[in-house]
Structure 1
Amino acid sequence: MRLSAPVYHLKRKARLLSRQQSIPLHAALDRIAASEGFEGWSLLSARTKTDVPVSELYSRLNPGDLVLVGARPGHGKTLMSLRLAVEAMKSGNRGAFFTLEDTEKAVLDRFRMIEADPVEFAELFEFDNSDVISADYIVKRLAAAPRGTLAVVDYLQLLDQKRENPDVMTQVQALKAFARERSVIIVFISQIDRSYDPERKPVPDLEDVRLPNPLDLRLFDKMFFLHDGEVQFRAAS
């Protein structure tokens, strides 16, 4: 679909709309996307983005890695995580998506956004949106997962929203130990704090990860941060 203007012009238009109408930037981006014939900015971004070499990004992951994918709303963190899962399945590995946020239809629709056919991966992909998702639950569901399985957790900040669950630090530590033991990759979708200022730096980083509860971010082996179509990869030092 041909756009009325380059993507960077549309982003500027959205920022102006956000200021003029006092609405969140992600809402303004969605309005601009709708005017271009897309259901939302994530879909516009997914269809027009050509500079994100997901196969190359996936190649940087190793069995046993704990991965964080962080972005503000509407900047493609869920789509990026699904792209990584699709790359894993293209390689013959299994993929899983654990979500406390989305429906199965919404996730399958996102497959189509990234031009992947969910039917093609039906035997390799597992979707789970149980209300009781936690580290213990994920470990039980992946107990027999073969080496190289890539599981997405949607999202990090919801893991300890229920009081009966352990704190997020304990859960991430448990999943890190499990990932190492079973040689699986676990990808956490993460919120970015509202204080993040794209005028100060083009892409968020670790200091911008929203942490309502204490968490040692050094537990993550690899990190992807996204904003306005840019992707920044970082490995633990």
Structure 2
Amino acid sequence: MRLSAPVYHLKRKARLLSRQQNIPLHAALDRIAASEGFEGWSLLSARANTDVSVSELYSRLKPGDLVLVGARPGHGKTLMSLRLAVEAMKLGNRGVFFTLEDTETVVRNRFRMIDADHAEFAALFAFDNSDAISADYIIAKLAMAPSGTLAVVDYLQLLDQKREKPELMAQVQTLKAFARDRGAIIVFISQIDRSYDPALKPVPDPEDVRLPNPLDLKLFDKMFFLHDGQVQIRAAS
């Protein structure tokens, strides 16, 4: 479905509507999405991002890669990560979704949002939302995973939220070594700092990754940054 204007124009229109009618921005965004024929803004954003060839992005990945997918809320980072898992499964590889945020129902609904059939990939897809998710937990769950398995971690900044878990840097280093050893691809969904200003640059970059705790971003082999339907690809190391 072709949009009547670029996503950033539609978002500007929603901000104006929010001010004029004194309604929350998310409600204004949903109204604009409805006027474009979509059920909600998240679905519009997801479809807008299909202009980027996910198969091309996936083709840039190789077994052993650590990948960061970063965006502000509502700009498609979770959907992009799930698309990458679907691309892996289309080729017969396993896809695993580790999340400290969502329920299985929410993730299954996201398959519909990206025009994928969860049932088609049921034999290859695994969902895990244990509170115990950490580097050691992920490694234990993927211990027998074949090369080419793509695991999504939702999301990076929550891995060391509990004090009893190792610091973030140590966990990412551990997962990097594991990915290289097993030939897995691990995709980390990442928050972008609120200080990011799209008026200064259209898409975030590594400087905008929210890091409440120290982390060397050179540990990531690839980075994909999203904003308003645009994707920027960075080779991190």
| Length-normalised TM-score, structure 2 | 0.92
Contact 2:64 2:180 in 1 (8 A): yes
Q: Report how many residues are paired.
A: 236
Aligned residues: CA RMSD: 2.0
Q: Which runs of 5+ in 2 are unaligned?
A: none
| Matches of 1:164 and 1:21, distance apart in 2 | 47
For the residue of structure 2 that corresponds to 1:192, the secondary structure is coil
* Percentage of pairs with the same residue: 83
**Structure 1 position 234, deviation (Å):** 1.0
**Structure 1 position 45, deviation (Å):** 2.1
**Structure 1 position 30, deviation (Å):** 3.7
**Higher mean Cα deviation, 194-203 or 39-48?**
39-48
Do residues 144 (structure 1) and 144 (structure 2) align? yes
| Matches of 2:22 and 2:195, distance apart in 1 | 16
Do residues 109 (structure 1) and 92 (structure 2) align? no
**Structure 1 position 21, deviation (Å):** 7.2
In the TM superposition, structure 1's runs of 4+ consecutive aligned residues that sit over 6 Å from their partners are 21-24
**Structure 1 position 236, deviation (Å):** 2.3
Do residues 220 (structure 1) and 220 (structure 2) align? yes
Contact 2:66 2:187 in 1 (8 A): yes
Residue 6 of structure 1 aligns with which residue? 5
For the residue of structure 2 that corresponds to 1:177, the secondary structure is helix
Residue 94 of structure 2 aligns with which residue? 94
Q: Which amino acid aligns with 2:45?
A: S
Residue 45 of structure 2 aligns with which residue? 45
Residue 118 of structure 1 aligns with which residue? 118
Q: Which amino acid aligns with 1:216?
A: D
Q: Which amino acid aligns with 1:220?
A: F
**Structure 1 pair 114/194, CA: closer, same or farther in 2 (3 Å)?**
same
Do residues 164 (structure 1) and 164 (structure 2) align? yes
**Higher mean Cα deviation, 190-199 or 38-47?**
38-47
| Matches of 2:173 and 2:23, distance apart in 1 | 38
Q: Which amino acid aligns with 1:167?
A: E
**Structure 1 position 7, deviation (Å):** 4.0
**Structure 1 pair 92/17, CA: closer, same or farther in 2 (3 Å)?**
same
| Length-normalised TM-score, structure 1 | 0.92
**Higher mean Cα deviation, 62-71 or 21-30?**
21-30
Q: Which runs of 5+ in 1 are unaligned?
A: none
Residue 75 of structure 2 aligns with which residue? 75
Q: Which amino acid aligns with 2:233?
A: F
